[in-house]
Structure 1
Amino acid sequence: MATPESRTRQLLAEEAARIILEEGVRDYGLAKRKAAEHLGVDARRDLPANTEVESALLERSRLFATADTRREYRDRLRAAALVMERLSEFEPRLVGPLLLGVLQPQAVINLHGFAETVEEVIIRLGDRGIACHTGERQYRGGGAGLRVPYLSFRGPDDTEIELTVFPTDGIRQAPPSPIDGRPMRRLGLAGVRELIAESEANDPASAD
């Protein structure tokens, strides 16, 4: 039998998942604090772990899936595959919510790429007439953590591509996930194509 404390954690996780999917909040910590505020729970109490929020997120995505959201999910996967094909020399990998099967309000596609320098990726995009914004991400682990540059640019079908550029040897070891601290899941182009095929096979409405 669930205790009041465990039931509260579950409710907080479910509300945080709703906030992520409906309000477009991408930070799990912020989503949990907003969930506590919405439910009138002291945010200083034991909030659910990120893994609990992720489980609730996946369950909500499954329960509330419609023909339109399934179609949009496939469209984003196709957009990811197209970008990955065009930047194949950087061996891109799909990461993040889309890989998990989560369709966020923002049409953001997260990729990891690998190059000697981020400048060569910027030049390659420029050759294709693609302007990009630059930024930096920090991953946990190893003292001050790992700082990695990323590029943001417009992709197919009004998507936003966020390409984090690791050194070429970074393909051998994924950075720790902010969700559970384990190496992030990464998926190559062949795997993305398999996801598209599986989505089409599991959705009768996809024969359009």
Structure 2
Amino acid sequence: MSAPESRTRQLLAEEAARIILDEGVRDYGLAKRKAAEHLGIDARRELPANTEVESALLERSRLFATADTRREYRDRLRAAMLVMERLSEFEPRLVGPLLQGVLQPQAVINLHGFADTVEEVIIRLGDRGISCRTGERQYRGGGAGLRVPYLGFRGPDDTQIELTVFPTDGIRQAPPSPVDGRPMRRLGLSRVRELLARTEASDSSFAD
């Protein structure tokens, strides 16, 4: 790859990261196409890989972090922990941007849960007075891919919870990440508690 091509890919990755963080776009492909449009670059040229956008996203999150965004990040981690505690029977796992340390404009918390049927999770939420919307997610890999139901509902502090419900044996193998195709990172409750503790300690040191 020539230097101009490399620089163009870098600029597109950085602009796509800005769009994801500032405009709330959640799809990397859409963010890259919007970045090409904003920069006046032909989208038919080679666009950066998702991993390049993710690297730019993490770097931008780090560079532009403020006391307010760090506090909001901690609040969302606490909200995730509380929901995971309340739904512990489904062995929830934290996934997505929050796990990576990225604070998106939408207060969305992505979780994976595990049950024999999605209906039993819906019933459990109903017992707690929680109504939810239903949908379906598709993960790549293996023929037509994997279709998995998810439930959306309101969480603590006006967060939006998106709980994808896998079969009970789905806990053994995470689905492929849309970023790099590798098994998605997933954190259980104890690890989320550790992440929150490290974040609080780090922010305390920063404040000092």
TM > 0.5 between the two? yes
Match of 2:160 in 1: 160
1:83 aligns with 2:83: yes
Structure 2 counterpart SS, 1:119: helix
Structure 2 counterpart SS, 1:203: helix
Task: Write the distance in 2 (CA, Å) between the matches of 1:49 and 1:179.
Answer: 8
What is the one-letter code of the residue matched to 2:89? E
CA contact (8 A) 1:67 1:205 kept: no
Match of 1:186 in 2: 186
Match of 1:21 in 2: 21
What is the one-letter code of the residue matched to 1:170? G
Q: CA deviation at 1:45?
A: 0.6
Match of 2:55 in 1: 55
Match of 1:9 in 2: 9
Match of 1:93 in 2: 93
What TM-score results when the alignment is normalised by the length of structure 2?
A: 0.97
Structure 1 counterpart SS, 2:57: helix
Task: Write the distance in 2 (CA, Å) between the matches of 1:46 and 1:129.
Answer: 49
1:128 aligns with 2:139: no
Structure 2 counterpart SS, 1:130: coil
The answer for unaligned runs of 5 or more in structure 2 is none
Q: CA deviation at 1:205?
A: 7.6
Q: CA deviation at 1:206?
A: 8.7
Task: Write the distance in 1 (CA, Å) between the matches of 2:143 and 2:204.
Answer: 50
CA offsets 1:49-105 (integer angstroms, 9 cap, x no match)? 000000000000000000000000000000000000000000000000000000000
CA contact (8 A) 1:71 1:206 kept: no
**What is the count of residue pairs matched by the alignment?**
207
Match of 1:113 in 2: 113
Task: Write the distance in 2 (CA, Å) between the matches of 1:99 and 1:147.
Answer: 23
Task: Write the distance in 2 (CA, Å) between the matches of 1:204 and 1:117.
Answer: 42
Q: CA deviation at 1:204?
A: 2.3
Structure 2 counterpart SS, 1:147: strand
Structure 2 counterpart SS, 1:202: helix
Match of 1:203 in 2: 203
Task: Write the distance in 2 (CA, Å) between the matches of 1:144 and 1:167.
Answer: 18
Match of 2:38 in 1: 38
- Aligned residues with identical type, % of pairs: 89
4+ long deviations beyond 3 Å: none
Task: Write the distance in 1 (CA, Å) between the matches of 2:152 and 2:206.
Answer: 30
Task: Write the distance in 2 (CA, Å) between the matches of 1:127 and 1:107.
Answer: 24
Task: Write the distance in 1 (CA, Å) between the matches of 2:144 and 2:199.
Answer: 40
Q: CA deviation at 1:2?
A: 6.7
What is the one-letter code of the residue matched to 2:114? F
Match of 2:151 in 1: 151
Q: CA deviation at 1:176?
A: 0.2
What is the one-letter code of the residue matched to 2:111? L
Q: CA deviation at 1:116?
A: 0.1
Cα distance change on mapping 1:2 and 1:193 into 2, 3 Å: farther
Structure 1 counterpart SS, 2:43: coil
Cα distance change on mapping 1:193 and 1:206 into 2, 3 Å: farther
CA offsets 1:100-139 (integer angstroms, 9 cap, x no match)? 0000000000000000000000000000000000000000
Structure 1 counterpart SS, 2:162: strand
Task: Write the distance in 1 (CA, Å) between the matches of 2:86 and 2:44.
Answer: 47
Task: Write the distance in 2 (CA, Å) between the matches of 1:166 and 1:66.
Answer: 36
What is the one-letter code of the residue matched to 1:193? R
Q: CA deviation at 1:192?
A: 0.6
What TM-score results when the alignment is normalised by the length of structure 1?
A: 0.97
Cα distance change on mapping 1:91 and 1:206 into 2, 3 Å: farther
Task: Write the distance in 1 (CA, Å) between the matches of 2:21 and 2:137.
Answer: 23
